[in-house]
Structure formats: C-alpha cells, structure tokens
C-alpha cells in the first residue's frame, strides 16, 4: 500500500540471514506482491518464508494474542500449487477415515430440475443462530435452486425447527449431518463445506455447486451469481484489501463446475484433510488458505481451466449480493462455545 511495496523488498536485501526482522520482511513483501496482483511473485517470498518460520518457531511471538500470529497462520496454512500432489495418500486416507459418514436427516421438495446446488455447512449452534434466516433468504431469492444444508453435531430441536420451515417451502432442501468427530472448533466447521462438497455434487448428478457461508442473507437472487459464474470451473470474489494469502479469497461465496471444478474440489479436500490437526490458534482461516492453495493448483495443473474473480468480472463486490449477519462479538462467542478461541 501507499506505493511502498518495492521498499519492503529492498529492505530484505539489506537484512542478514539471521535477522529477527527477516520473517516479517518476507511476509509483507509477499503481501505487497499480492496487492500488486503478482501472485506468483508473492509465492516466491512465501516459499522462502515457510522454512524460516519452521526453523524459528520457538522464538516467534505466535500465541493467540500476539500480532504476529496472523502472519504465522496465513503463511503456514497456505501452500503453493504443487502441494496437494505431494501429500502422502496413506496419511490422507487415515484422516478421511476419521471423518463421520454423512447422515440423511430429511429431504423436502424435488430439486431435480434445479440448474445448480446451493450448499452451506455449519455446526448445530451456528445453525440455531443463523439457519432460519438463511433459509428464509433463500426461499425469497432462490427460485430454481436446490439447497443442501450440512450440519456438524446437529441439535435435535434446531433440526426439527428447520424441518418445519422446510416442509412445504418454496425451495427444495436436503438436510444432512455428521456426528461428533476428532476435530472440534470454528476452523473445522468453516472448512466442513469443502470436505462434503464432492459428495453433495455426486448426489446431484454432477451439477455445479455454489457454496456460501450460512451467516449471510441474499440481497440478489443466487441465480444472478450463477449466471455470472456459469462459464467458469471456479469462481470467487477476491478481497480488494485482503493483503494476506489466507485473506485473499473470501470463502463467503464460491462456485465449482464441470470436470475442472470437480478436480479442484478434490484438491481442496486433500488440502483441508492435511491440515486438520493444526491446533488453535494456528488453524483459523484454514478454509480460505486452502482455497488459495487449491486455486494455485488448478492454475498450475489444469492451465486451461476457466477461473473468474466475480468483482473483477462485473465490478460488484459480494456485499452487493450478500449481507453478512451477526457481529464479531456474536460470532466470537459461538467460536468460544465450540471450545476454541
């Protein structure tokens, strides 16, 4: 920002290899490259930074209340484009085996004629806080949509309330759940959508999937976003001022379609599985860091895949389509209730 990016890089040339300032310099040099839309240049810095962070882990201020924790988790959670293909298959299989099976809780209406699936996932208490409003929003704006809600550790009375609202509703709804699992906390709940997305797509005959946060309200019909995204294997928004690699692609809204979209979802699932054992406070923003990694994988290994950043495509950012519900304190309390934060 303020045109100072080149100065950040020049400072690195003046720092000794053992300088305590080198991790910060490399991180912010990478961030400056992101702001300049030089993603490949940014990862030159981030790839230099990662082994340095590992070597200096015990001496860095990376606790939950330390400011450098933000840089630490953004730089360590994100990976470059080859990462998914370097992962050990046996280790991924062991992690996947620890995930509970998807359980069907109910289906209301026929979504067979829908052009795409709208997916949101959360834990039971988040569903209690935001589920009814989300369902109301989709019912008002979501004609032609097949809605799929996936709940981690569902609360029986909340599920019953959602089922009552879904019965006879305007939008077809499938409700699935998973029981308690080894990973409990906000980072898992935020990432669960990407762990179940491929199965949801398969259940719907390979239709494109639009994935959103559940703590949002649609201001415009989802079909408008789907029409913008329709030619693309992957589409998202890009944060205009999100300088960190884990802040660049907001998970609030994403789109996956076709064979390339399915391949990206597979890579994304592998990335999330590989990072599930990262503990709090170093795992927050895993979902968005994994998105960045998966998009780099798609660009590198499927270079013909069509990718879009919606705000650059149409000049409108996600608040023109979606309004975020709740406030920071509200959501922080839910994260603490999940045993994290």
- Note the pLDDT tens digit of each residue in 206-220: 999 999 999 999 999
pLDDT at 195 over 90: yes
Q: What is the pLDDT of residue 341?
A: 47
Rounded distance between C-alpha atoms, residue 329 and residue 298, angstroms: 36
> What are the beta bridge partners of residue 123?
152
Rounded distance between C-alpha atoms, residue 10 and residue 13, angstroms: 5
pLDDT at 339 over 80: no
Rounded distance between C-alpha atoms, residue 257 and residue 205, angstroms: 12
Higher pLDDT, 170 or 250: 250
Q: Which range is least confidently modeled, 2-11, 88-97, 144-153, 263-272?
A: 2-11
Q: To the nearest whole number, what is the mean pLDDT of the chain?
A: 90
% of the chain exceeding 90 in pLDDT: 70
Higher pLDDT, 327 or 80: 80
pLDDT at 181 over 80: no
pLDDT at 145 over 50: yes
pLDDT tens digits, residue range 267-318? 999 999 999 999 888 888 999 999 999 999 999 999 999 999 999 999 999 9
Q: What is the pLDDT of residue 333?
A: 67
Question: Which whole number is the average pLDDT over 81-98?
Answer: 96
Question: If residue 120 lies in a helix (H) or strand (E), which one and from where to where?
Answer: strand 116-123
Q: Which range is least confidently modeled, 17-21, 32-36, 214-218, 334-338?
A: 334-338
Rounded distance between C-alpha atoms, residue 135 and residue 101, angstroms: 24
Provide the Cα torsion 125, 127, 131, 133; round to 10°: 30
Question: Which whole number is the average pLDDT over 169-193?
Answer: 88
Q: Can you say whether the dihedral through the CA atoms of 198, 202, 208, 214 is positive or negative?
A: negative
Q: What is the pLDDT of residue 1?
A: 47
Report CA 139 to chain centroid distance, whole Å: 24
Side-chain-side CA neighbours of residue 235 (13 Å):
22
Q: What is the pLDDT of residue 3?
A: 58
Determine the straight-line distance between the first and last CA of the chain, rounded to whole angstroms: 30
% of the chain exceeding 70 in pLDDT: 94
């Amino acid at each position: 920002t303020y045109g100072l990016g080149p100065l950040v890089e020049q400072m690195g040339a003046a720092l000794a290899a053992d300088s305590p300032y080198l991790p910060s310099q490399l991180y912010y040099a990478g961030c400056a490259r992101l702001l300049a839309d030089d993603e490949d240049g940014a990862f030159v810095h981030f790839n230099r930074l990662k082994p340095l962070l590992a070597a200096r882990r015990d001496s860095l201020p990376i606790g939950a209340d330390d400011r450098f924790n933000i840089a630490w988790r953004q730089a360590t959670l994100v990976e470059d484009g080859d990462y998914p293909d370097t992962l050990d298959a046996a280790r991924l299989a062991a992690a996947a085996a620890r995930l509970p099976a998807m359980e069907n809780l109910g289906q209301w209406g026929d979504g067979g004629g829908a052009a795409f699936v709208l997916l949101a996932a959360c834990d039971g208490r988040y569903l209690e806080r935001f589920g009814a409003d989300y369902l109301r929003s989709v019912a008002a704006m979501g004609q032609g949509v097949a809605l799929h809600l996936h709940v981690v550790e569902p609360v029986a009375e909340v599920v019953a309330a959602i089922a009552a609202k879904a019965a006879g509703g305007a939008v077809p709804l499938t409700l699935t759940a998973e029981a308690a699992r080894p990973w409990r906390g906000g980072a898992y709940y935020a990432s669960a959508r990407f762990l179940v997305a491929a199965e949801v797509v398969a259940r719907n005959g390979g239709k494109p999937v639009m994935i959103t946060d559940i703590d949002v309200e649609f201001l415009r019909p989802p079909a408008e976003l789907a029409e913008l995204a329709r030619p693309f294997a992957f589409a998202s928004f890009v944060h205009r001022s999100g300088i960190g690699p884990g802040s660049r692609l907001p998970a609030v809204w994403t789109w996956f379609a076709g064979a390339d979209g399915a391949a990206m979802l597979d890579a994304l699932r592998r990335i999330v599985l590989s990072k599930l054992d990262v503990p709090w406070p170093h795992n927050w923003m895993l979902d968005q860091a994994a998105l960045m990694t998966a998009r780099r994988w798609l660009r590198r290994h499927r270079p013909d895949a069509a990718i879009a950043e919606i705000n650059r495509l149409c000049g409108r950012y996600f608040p023109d389509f979606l309004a975020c519900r709740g406030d920071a304190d509200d959501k922080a309390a839910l994260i603490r209730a999940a045993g994290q934060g």
